[in-house]
């Protein structure tokens, strides 16, 4: 509800009257009203509005100069123009300005800046600033190429607002400003949890997945699936090349995770192609060694073993521990088995701790 | 304290550069409802505009009137906390101010507990310069270009951030979170319940921008906020905040006190009739001079500055601090008033007049100003961060100048797209060069 107690506000957007929820930004309103895309670079729906890139400037009657749509809340009676020669020219210049500091030769991620450059027909900027020094980091997962950074602050704000880790910082000012892991240390020596959220939000590929080995996202096939590391059920996209997973991404606005992932979900996929990965159940033979078998045989063996112990020593001598990788439904079924079939309350899931 | 007649402030424009009507701010803060946490008065003493040193002089020599002005503002707006946000190089001013606070507490004018000091946040990695030495020239000394182009015989090496380490301690201060707002003692004998503390600034030009200043006080990176809300509505810690420049508080006190404390009755009825001009550069006797608004630069130089050094021609001059750009010597008869300077495309700014005698190069002066902006941009918004940098490069010739249409689009983007005054006034330096000289770019 707005301060005047109303929960809707009406204003004029590109000549039409629009009604939106109080508190909506002009950017949200433009999207709801189906206006042509208002370009943004420093904006991520998962973060608080920042208003730094100045790509989303729109004209607002009565304001001394254009206002950022991402940061301005709609209010009754506003008269807003989201398109027009002036703001479009300014947006184009912003792209040109950002290209002057952007050195993208890694090209591993869909580059939002390059996309706008192509869309607006911006060619070489009239000046090219020196590339920032390379950043070596001994962590295995998050790569950082300061040359491609456009200081949109998305990574820094993600790390602060979503993760509350503050493992990234915006240091310096003017021409020497840059993003870096806090205090200029390796990610491993900061409070970084290696969730890779900064990578997911970076619009230019300055932050990228090292495991992808420089492979561009466009060259990968995507398979949507559910992460198996825990019961949350995060929706993930396995990015594969030549039938091998090279990175994991998640789409904002999809699933319970809304584009967020933990370090396991995003980076711990190397086991998939590991030569020692178990692909079938193993049971111990009379020779005392483990042999591959099928699930039916293995489960029969487990059932027989459990029944034998319970029959000989009583149900209280049997217990069940569920993995945190099990879903809620799996864990429910397991406790049914324990209580209903075996008759014991010795049941626990490590996700409970 | 009696209810004041705000009419007596009408016409007083803020002296910190933007020239915003002071009475408007006072009224706006008075009219804001006071929540449980009250309201705040902040005195902006982060005097960083190159060429400006009148606030430093006032705090060192006339702290009583500045504090009295803050007290009046507090009584008028209903604020119970006041802060002086002081640039870190002003150590002498800090001592003078704190001594005056102590005296006023003793006299029953300020609440007990007044005078606490804390440090505001600056940019990580940027050292904050503190010094215990004579700092009358500190505002002059902050720029390399002042060392290179000004005529002051400054000693010492310019520091990396543009300051001058005469013999000062260079220390990296970690930003400390502001102390929890301490309790305010009941109203003292002769005054209102008002606690006055000092926050030492983060050591950056942008900290003088009012919302960046608030961010710094709150312990964050000093990046300007988006307005609205304005500080009068939601300022320090979200409280209604009245922020004025040192000189503005000083004038307010002179205008509102009965009769004027130091024979200044002549200004009592005419707010904005006089200003403190900081005169520096190639003149015989640089200094802070109180003059009627509308004095010309030539009169200022001749009446107070003792003439141009060596009797040389004036190659160019700055009318109101670096952000007001460079004017040619032929315009020395321009009245130094808001309207007079508006007519030649600029503004009175901080009323800091810097004189550059021949053979100094106007283009070089302008390029140095742009380099200063490029270094001092907080780097939050694209047009200021990259625009200032590009124009600095183009103007000092370190890279080839762009086609005219690109330069003009870039200026437009800076003027329309920047978040704060640093970015949207920086193009003035380029436009003034184009208007009065042979062009901004080589």
Give the phi and the psi of residue A338 in degrees, each rounded to 5. Answer: -65, -50
Could you give the CA distance from residue A175 to residue A54 in angstroms, rounded to a whole number? 18
Instruction: Give SS3 for A123.
Output: coil
Question: CA distances (Å), B198 to each of B46, B112, B241, in order?
Answer: 12, 14, 16
Residue B387 forms contact with A (CB below 8 Å): yes
For residue A85, count other CB atoms closer than 10 A to its CB: 7
Domain B6-267 matching CATH 3.40.1190.10: the answer reads no
Q: What would be the CATH architecture of the domain defined by A220-277?
A: Single Sheet (2.20)
Query: How far is C-alpha B328 from the geometric centre of its chain's CA atoms?
Result: 24
Residues of chain A contacting residue B379, judged by C-beta atoms under 8 Å apart: 151, 170, 172-174, 177
The tokens of B110 are what?
Answer: 């300020």
**In DSSP terms, which residues pair with A59 in a beta bridge?**
A81
**CB-CB under 8 Å, B393 with A127:** yes
Percent of chain B with pLDDT over 70: 84
B4 pLDDT band, cuts 50/70/90, is: low
Q: Are B285 and B55 in contact (CB under 8 A)?
A: no
Contact B167, B131 (CB under 8 A): yes
Tell me, yes or no, if the two domains B273-360 and B363-436 fold the same way.
Answer: no
What is the mean pLDDT of the segment spanning B412-437?
A: 96
In this structure, the number of other CB atoms found within 10 A of the CB of residue A260 comes to 21
Looking at the complex, does the CB of residue A65 fall below 8 Å from at least one CB of chain B?
yes
CB-based contact A54 B389, cutoff 8 Å:
no
What does the pLDDT read at residue A353?
A: 60
Chain B residue with CA closest to A70: the answer is: B226
* B130 vs B304, residue with greater confidence: B304
Return the CATH number of A103-110+125-218, one of 3.90.10.10, 3.40.50.970, 3.20.20.140, 3.30.70.20: 3.30.70.20
Tell me which residue in A55, A173, A175 faces B123 most closely, judged by beta carbons: A173
pLDDT at B162: 31
| Cβ A42 vs Cβ A152: under 8 Å | yes
Provide the residue ranges of all domains of chain A, joining segments of one domain with +.
8-83, 103-110+125-218, 220-277, 282-352
> Alpha-carbon distance B246 to B60, whole Å?
11
pLDDT digits (tens, 9 = 90+) for B189-210: 888 999 999 999 988 999 999 9
Kindly compute the dihedral angle of the four CA atoms of residues A62, A65, A71, A74, in this order, to the nearest 10 degrees: 20
Averaged over B370-374, what is the pLDDT? 95
Find residues 109-148 of chain B whose CB sits inside 8 Å of chain A.
123-126
The sheet with strand B195-200 has its strands ordered as: B117-119, B195-200, B81-86, B40-45, B241-245
Q: Is any Cβ of chain B less than 8 angstroms from the Cβ of A101?
A: yes
- CA angle, B331 as apex, B328 and B334 as ends, to 5°? 140
- Name A223's bridge partners: A238
Low-confidence ranges of chain A (pLDDT < 70): 1-5, 353
Distances (CA, A) of A187 to A149, A325, B22: 17, 27, 49
Contact indicator for B385, B228 with CB cutoff of 8 Å: no
**What is the distance between the alpha carbons of residues B42 and B70, in angstroms, rounded to a whole number?**
8
- Angle, helices A85-101 vs B382-395, to 10°: value is 70
Measured CA to CA, the distance from residue B244 to residue B46 in angstroms comes to 11
Helix (H) / strand (E) element for B406: namely helix B404-417
Encoding tokens for residue B174? 């970690």
What average pLDDT does range B5-34 have in this prediction?
90
Confidence of residue B173 (pLDDT cuts 50, 70, 90): very low
In sequence order, what are the beta bridge partners of A36?
Answer: none
Chain A contacts of B424, Cβ < 8 Å? 65
Phi, psi of B314 (to 5 degrees): -85, 120
Mean pLDDT estimate for chain B: 85
- B307: alpha, beta or left? (left if phi > 0; alpha if psi -120 to 50): left
Q: What is the CATH number of domain A8-83?
A: 3.10.20.740
Name the minimum distance, in Å, from the CA of B9 to any CA of chain A. 26
Token look-up 């398979």 returns: A223
Residues of B in contact with A173 (CB under 8 A): 123, 126, 204, 206, 375-379
Contact B279/B321 with Cβ under 8 angstroms? no
Spatial contact of A167 and A190, defined as CB atoms under 8 Å apart: yes
pLDDT of res. B79: 95
Q: Is B233 helix (H, G, I), strand (E, B) or coil?
A: coil
The backbone torsions φ and ψ at residue B42, rounded to the nearest 5 degrees and listed phi first, read -120, 130
Give the number of other CB atoms < 10 A from CB of residue A227.
Answer: 23
Q: Which of A54, A72, A172 sits opposite B125 (nearest CB)?
A: A172
- Encoded tokens for A47: 């973060």
Ordered DSSP codes for A276-313: T---S-EEE-TTSSEEE--HHHHHHHHHHHHHHHHHHH
Q: Which of helix, strand or coil describes residue B202?
A: coil
In order of B18, B161, B165, B203, the CA distances from B170 in angstroms are 32, 11, 8, 12
Tokens representing A290 are: 């483990």
- Taking only the tens place, the pLDDT of each residue in B118-170 is 888 888 777 776 654 433 333 333 333 333 433 332 233 333 333 333 333 32
Q: What angle do CA A204, A210, A214 make, to 5 degrees?
A: 65
- Given a contact cutoff of 8 angstroms between Cβ atoms, the answer to whether A223 and A238 are in contact is yes
For B339, the 3-state DSSP assignment is helix
- Domain B273-360, what fold? Ubiquitin-like (UB roll) (3.10.20)
Please tell me if the domain spanning A8-83 has the same topology as the one spanning A220-277. no
From CA B220, how far away is CA B228, in angstroms rounded? 19
> The domain B363-436 is classified under which CATH number: 2.60.40.10, 1.20.1440.230, 3.50.70.10, 3.40.50.300?
1.20.1440.230
Q: So what's the ipTM on this one?
A: 0.89
User: What are the boundaries of each domain within chain B?
Assistant: 6-267, 273-360, 363-436
Q: What is the pLDDT of residue B185?
A: 87
Distance (Å, whole) CA A7 – CA A12:
17
Map A195-222 to HEC letters: CCHHHHHCCCCCEEEHHHCCCCHHHCEE
Bridge partners, residue B275, by sequence: B291
Q: What angle do CA A187, A193, A195 make, to 5 degrees?
A: 100
Retrieve residue B434's tokens. 């184009």
Instruction: List C-alpha distances in Å: B119 to A43, A324, B203.
Output: 32, 47, 10
- Nearest residue to B317 via CA among B351, B340, B285: B351
Strand partners, B244: B43
Closest chain A residue to B206, measured at CA: A173
Which residues 25-64 in chain A show a CB within 8 A of chain B? 51-55, 57
**Which are the contacts of B289, defined by CB distance < 8 A and separation ≥ 6?**
B276, B277, B279, B300, B304
Place of tokens 């397991």: A334
Decide if A54 and B386 are in contact by the 8 Å CB cutoff.
no
pLDDT of residue B126: 76
Work out the minimum CA distance from A85 to partner chain B, whole angstroms.
12
pLDDT reading at B215 higher than 50: yes
Average pLDDT over residues B84-111: 94
Q: Largest Cα–Cα distance in chain B?
A: 68
Q: H helices within A24-139, ranges in order?
A: 26-32, 85-101, 112-120
pLDDT score at B131: 56
Identify the helix (H) or strand (E) that includes residue A143.
strand A142-144
Is the pLDDT at B258 greater than 70? The verdict is: no
A120 or B260, which is more confident? A120
- Which residues touch B265 (CB under 8 Å, ≥6 apart)? B259
Strand, coil or helix: B79: coil
Give A255→chain B minimum CA distance, Å.
Answer: 33
**Among candidate residues B188, B15, B16, the one with its CA nearest the CA of residue B101:** B188
Give phi and psi for B384, each to the nearest 5.
Answer: -75, -45
Helix (H) or strand (E) run with residue A336 in it: helix A328-336
Instruction: Tell me phi and psi for residue B66, to 5 degrees.
Output: -65, -45
Distance from CA of A125 to the nearest CA of B (A): 9
Residue of B nearest to A126 (CA): B402
Report how far apart the first and last C-alpha atoms of chain B are (Å, whole number): 60
Query: What are the DSSP calls for B106-166, one per residue?
Result: HTTSS-TTTT-EEE----TTPPEEE--S--TTHHHHT-HHHHHHS-----SEEPTTS-EES
Q: What is the pLDDT of residues B51-73, one digit of tens each?
A: 999 999 999 999 999 999 999 99
Please write the tens of the pLDDT for every residue from B268-286. 457 788 999 999 999 999 9
How is residue B260 written in tokens? 């004027």
Question: What is the number of other CB atoms lying within 10 angstroms of the CB of residue A66?
Answer: 21
DSSP per residue, B243-288:
EEEHHHHHHHHHHHSSS-TTS-HHHHT-TTSEEEEEEEESBSS-EE
């Amino acid at each position: 509800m707005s301060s005047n107690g109303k929960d809707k506000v009406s204003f004029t957007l590109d000549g039409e009257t629009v009604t939106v929820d109080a508190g909506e930004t002009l950017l949200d309103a433009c999207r709801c009203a189906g206006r042509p895309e208002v370009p943004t670079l420093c904006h991520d729906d998962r973060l608080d509005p920042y208003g730094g890139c100045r790509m989303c400037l729109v004209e607002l009657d009565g304001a001394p100069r254009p206002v950022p749509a991402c940061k301005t809340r709609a209010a009754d009676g506003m008269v807003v123009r989201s398109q027009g020669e002036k703001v479009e020219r300014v947006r184009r210049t912003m792209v040109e300005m950002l290209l002057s500091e952007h050195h993208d030769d890694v090209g591993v991620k869909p580059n939002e800046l390059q996309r706008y450059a192509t869309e607006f027909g911006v060619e070489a900027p009239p000046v090219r600033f020196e590339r920032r020094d390379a950043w070596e980091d001994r962590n295995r997962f998050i790569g950082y190429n300061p040359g491609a950074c456009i200081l949109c602050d998305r990574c820094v704000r993600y790390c602060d607002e979503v993760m509350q880790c503050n493992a990234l910082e915006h240091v310096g000012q003017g021409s020497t400003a840059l993003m870096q892991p806090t205090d200029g240390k390796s990610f491993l020596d900061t409070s970084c949890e290696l969730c890779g959220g900064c990578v997911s939000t970076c619009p230019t590929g300055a932050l990228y997945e090292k495991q992808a080995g420089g492979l561009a996202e466009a060259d990968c096939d995507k398979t949507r699936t559910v992460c198996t590391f825990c019961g949350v059920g995060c929706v993930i996209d396995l990015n594969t090349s030549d039938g091998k997973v090279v990175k994991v991404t998640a789409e904002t606005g999809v699933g319970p995770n809304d584009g967020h992932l933990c370090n396991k979900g995003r980076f711990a996929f190397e086991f998939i192609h590991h030569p020692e990965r178990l692909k079938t159940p193993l049971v111990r033979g009379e020779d005392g060694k483990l042999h591959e078998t099928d699930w039916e045989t293995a489960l029969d063996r487990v059932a027989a073993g459990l029944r034998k112990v319970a029959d000989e020593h009583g149900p209280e001598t049997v217990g069940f521990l569920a993995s945190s990788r099990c879903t809620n439904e799996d864990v429910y079924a397991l406790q049914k088995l324990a209580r209903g079939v075996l008759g014991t309350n010795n049941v626990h899931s490590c996700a409970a701790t | 304290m009696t209810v004041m007649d705000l009419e007596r402030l009408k016409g007083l424009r803020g002296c910190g550069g933007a020239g915003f009507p002071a009475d408007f701010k006072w009224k706006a803060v008075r009219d804001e409802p006071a929540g449980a946490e009250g309201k705040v008065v902040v005195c902006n003493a982060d005097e960083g505009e190159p060429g400006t040193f009148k606030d430093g002089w006032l705090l060192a020599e006339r702290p009583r009137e500045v504090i009295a002005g803050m007290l009046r503002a507090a009584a008028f707006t209903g604020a119970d906390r006041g802060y002086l946000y002081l640039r870190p190089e002003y150590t002498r001013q800090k001592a003078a101010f704190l001594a005056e606070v102590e005296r006023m507490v003793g006299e029953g004018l300020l609440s007990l507990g007044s005078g606490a000091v804390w440090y505001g946040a600056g940019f990580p990695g940027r050292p904050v310069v503190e010094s215990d030495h004579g700092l009358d020239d500190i505002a002059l000394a902050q720029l390399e270009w002042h060392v290179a182009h000004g005529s002051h015989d400054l000693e010492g090496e310019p520091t990396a951030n543009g300051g001058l380490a005469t013999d000062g301690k260079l220390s990296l201060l970690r930003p400390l979170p502001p102390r929890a707002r301490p309790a305010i003692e009941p109203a003292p004998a002769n005054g209102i319940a008002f606690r006055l503390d000092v926050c030492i600034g983060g050591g950056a030009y942008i900290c003088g921008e009012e919302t960046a200043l608030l961010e710094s006080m709150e312990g964050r990176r000093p990046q300007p906020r988006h307005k609205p809300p304005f500080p009068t509505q939601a300022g320090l810690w979200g409280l209604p905040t009245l922020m004025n420049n040192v000189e503005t508080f000083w004038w307010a006190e002179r205008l509102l006190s009965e009769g004027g404390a130091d024979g200044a009755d002549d200004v009592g009825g005419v707010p904005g009739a006089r200003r403190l001009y900081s005169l520096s550069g190639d003149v015989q006797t640089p200094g802070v001079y109180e003059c009627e608004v509308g004095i010309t630069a030539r009169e200022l130089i001749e009446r107070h500055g003792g003439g141009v050094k060596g009797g040389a021609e004036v190659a160019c001059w700055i009318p109101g601090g670096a952000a007001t750009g460079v004017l040619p010597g032929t315009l020395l008869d321009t009245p130094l008033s808001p309207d007079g300077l508006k007519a030649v495309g600029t503004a009175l700014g901080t009323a800091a007049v810097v004189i550059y005698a021949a053979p100094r190069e106007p283009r070089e002066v302008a390029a140095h100003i742009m380099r200063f902006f490029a270094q001092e941009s907080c780097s939050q918004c694209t047009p200021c961060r990259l625009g200032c940098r590009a124009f600095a490069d183009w103007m000092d010739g370190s890279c080839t100048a762009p086609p005219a249409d690109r330069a003009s689009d870039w200026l437009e983007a800076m003027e329309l797209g920047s978040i704060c005054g640093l970015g949207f006034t920086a193009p003035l330096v380029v436009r003034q060069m184009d208007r009065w000289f042979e062009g901004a770019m080589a």
